[in-house]
Structure 1
């Protein structure tokens, strides 16, 4: 690098350590906003079911505290450490996702959780983080070969043993994992035409799993005509909530649809309650906040000191982007119901904990950026 104008010969440039405080602020704000909306959305149902209006809030707050602790620790660790543990992460995620099929607890018709007393753990949430670490390592090691279609397909094939058991219990999570993989490979590859074929393969993969389970094919019919099916009730009530919110909403805590009309409103359908209470203005502000978060990920990835760090952040960015887009699309009935939560906002302890752990990983990469001043 040449000397900057106005500097004397031999003057050393000062290296400034970087940390993305903007991203940290967005994370804290989203978590706090999520807890406020969770309490507003779930207090009625929690009082009816558990006799405690703060039941869901307390459980989510506990998970967020664990997540913040993990985020703080991980952000202090050199992210290259995880490069040595990529195999352990992948195998661990695979074993957990297979085990939950046989040993997991059933909830809402699906076997996706391990339960130990009041605590529960969803292995598919860990699988998302494991895939990011695994693919970042594999792709960074074959950087010069990733443009070759054959080598690219090898990377995708490596994911099949993990995607299979995840898709068996939760197709929506499998779609997210495949989306993360495609995004990471797309960023690392100099050739883009081959991703057209990959997109066709992904759609074919999804179609096979839809055909294999009749209830998934039924979701397509419900999506097209929710008013004609009993199972379209949740979708219709969610749309009523969005429409009744207007421009500025009814006010925080004033939702009518959360009073038993929208089933499990604190989970997948929380965005509809946000629209009802805070209106179109509140919904747009939340979307803009997610866009700000994605922009900070892009800044970190573009300035990461190596490809491995950049790929870690790209994987995390893809995870958040895909999940936000799919959740909002489901709530607005733009796509069939897939049971995907809204990051940092929907109720889910495992999801909140691992999302914050991912944020710690992104902050760790940002800490490795060096600016010259």
Structure 2
């Protein structure tokens, strides 16, 4: 009897997703290589230092890694009590952008405090993930009707609406994160489609409300006829000239002033030119692997709050990658969305690393039973 009891016992071991950690580190390192290749020419012309963007990205990456380690160490369940205050502070910061924001390239998206500039809209992404994870975990059984679906999504509308005033593309991502989290928590396809249709009408209304956004539609349909279609055209030339295997790392021609601000949201076009379609597909597959790890963690998380955090980060990365590639290939109008881990960015990279820390912390809650 003792032997049978010993054979029937199970041993529980702790888990940590080292595969996801490796993917994050690899994407960051590979992103630095691609960023330097893309930005060195413009950095030399603009600042007299070919490593200008690389050094700043490396600094932001170090800050992001510190924040990631912090979120890995601190139990994610502690953020339940802070989810609502973080949401409120994020909302106030986004309102402050409208009145006190710093303008750059015609867009007012930054706040400056003691000489430090940051984008509150990037903080809003992590705020909406935590907040939606909180309210879904508190009321997991209230998504059975379309009315309740609408009530839940209404919690995200104030933040999305405020961000939309100055940054429509980020507002779309914020609302998209909230809707995907709701869909995963209560998979009612017709409710999800209904919210998508309502969201599409809201986006169209916001585009028509401001002239410069309407001009982007024209530049999307006929980029050769609009001044703001120049970047799109040059990006398409870069993609087309890369062919199957590209011209080689560092050999891009379009980055030599052809594609404006290539190190930001158009970096994928330079990747296609230098590494070809093959290199672009490899990068997309890396993102797919990362998304798979998010879903694995979401499916095995200890509680619903942790699961929804992983789903929220999944939605953020998936939406941002899809929209960035769609913009670069002129599938949708230009929206100024950067490619995660690869494009040049400050606040975006730092808080993206914080999200990675959150998901890795959720993975620590997973317990594997060994028989």
TM-score under structure 2 normalisation? 0.97
SS in 1 for 2:155: helix
Is 1:189–2:202 an aligned residue pair?
A: no
SS in 2 for 1:52: coil
Matched residue, 2:267: 270
Is 1:178–2:175 an aligned residue pair?
A: yes
Q: How far apart are 1:118 and its partner, in Å?
A: 6.1
Q: Deviations over 1:312-348 (max 9, x none)?
A: 0000000000000000000001111011000011111
How many residue pairs were aligned? 368
Q: How far apart are 1:310 and its partner, in Å?
A: 0.7
Matched residue, 1:334: 331
Structure 1 segment 236-251 matched on structure 2, within 5 A: 236-251=233-248
Q: How far apart are 1:191 and its partner, in Å?
A: 2.8
Match of 1:107 among 82, 104, 108: 104
Is 1:56–2:53 an aligned residue pair?
A: yes
Matched residue, 2:291: 294
Query: Which whole-Å CA distance do the structure 2 matches of 1:116 and 1:156 have between them?
Result: 32
Query: Which whole-Å CA distance do the structure 2 matches of 1:277 and 1:116 have between them?
Result: 39
Matched residue, 1:3: none
Is 1:47–2:24 an aligned residue pair?
A: no
- Using a 3 Å threshold, how does the CA distance of structure 1 residues 36 and 111 change in structure 2: closer, same or farther? same
| Unaligned ranges ≥5, structure 2 | none
Q: How far apart are 1:117 and its partner, in Å?
A: 6.6
Please say if residues 90 and 130 of structure 1, whose CA atoms lie closer than 8 Å, have aligned partners that are also in contact: yes
SS in 2 for 1:193: helix
Matched residue, 1:158: 155
Q: How far apart are 1:119 and its partner, in Å?
A: 3.4
Query: Which whole-Å CA distance do the structure 1 matches of 2:188 and 2:174 have between them?
Result: 22
Please say if residues 246 and 280 of structure 1, whose CA atoms lie closer than 8 Å, have aligned partners that are also in contact: yes
| Unaligned ranges ≥5, structure 1 | 1-6
Structure 1 segment 44-123 matched on structure 2, within 5 A: 44-116=41-113, 119-123=116-120
SS in 1 for 2:9: coil
Q: Deviations over 1:258-290 (max 9, x none)?
A: 011100000010000001111111101000000
- Using a 3 Å threshold, how does the CA distance of structure 1 residues 328 and 78 change in structure 2: closer, same or farther? same
Q: Deviations over 1:216-251 (max 9, x none)?
A: 111111111111112111011001101111111111
Please say if residues 294 and 310 of structure 2, whose CA atoms lie closer than 8 Å, have aligned partners that are also in contact: yes
Matched residue, 1:9: 5
The alignment yields a C-alpha RMSD, in angstroms, of: 1.3
Query: Which whole-Å CA distance do the structure 2 matches of 1:62 and 1:251 have between them?
Result: 27
Query: Which whole-Å CA distance do the structure 2 matches of 1:243 and 1:118 have between them?
Result: 41
Q: How far apart are 1:192 and its partner, in Å?
A: 2.5
Query: Which whole-Å CA distance do the structure 1 matches of 2:81 and 2:226 have between them?
Result: 51
Please say if residues 115 and 121 of structure 1, whose CA atoms lie closer than 8 Å, have aligned partners that are also in contact: yes
Match of 1:23 among 5, 20, 25: 20
Is 1:124–2:121 an aligned residue pair?
A: yes
Is 1:369–2:362 an aligned residue pair?
A: no
Query: Which whole-Å CA distance do the structure 2 matches of 1:175 and 1:147 have between them?
Result: 25
Query: Which whole-Å CA distance do the structure 2 matches of 1:265 and 1:311 have between them?
Result: 34
Please say if residues 147 and 190 of structure 1, whose CA atoms lie closer than 8 Å, have aligned partners that are also in contact: no
Match of 1:283 among 260, 280, 284: 280
Match of 1:353 among 337, 350, 362: 350
Matched residue, 2:207: 210
Instruction: Give the ranges of 4+ consecutive aligned residues of structure 1 lying more than 4 Å apart after TM superposition.
Output: none
Please say if residues 222 and 228 of structure 1, whose CA atoms lie closer than 8 Å, have aligned partners that are also in contact: yes
Please say if residues 149 and 191 of structure 2, whose CA atoms lie closer than 8 Å, have aligned partners that are also in contact: no
- Farther-moved stretch of structure 1 (44-53 vs 123-132): 44-53
Q: How far apart are 1:53 and its partner, in Å?
A: 0.9
Is 1:137–2:134 an aligned residue pair?
A: yes
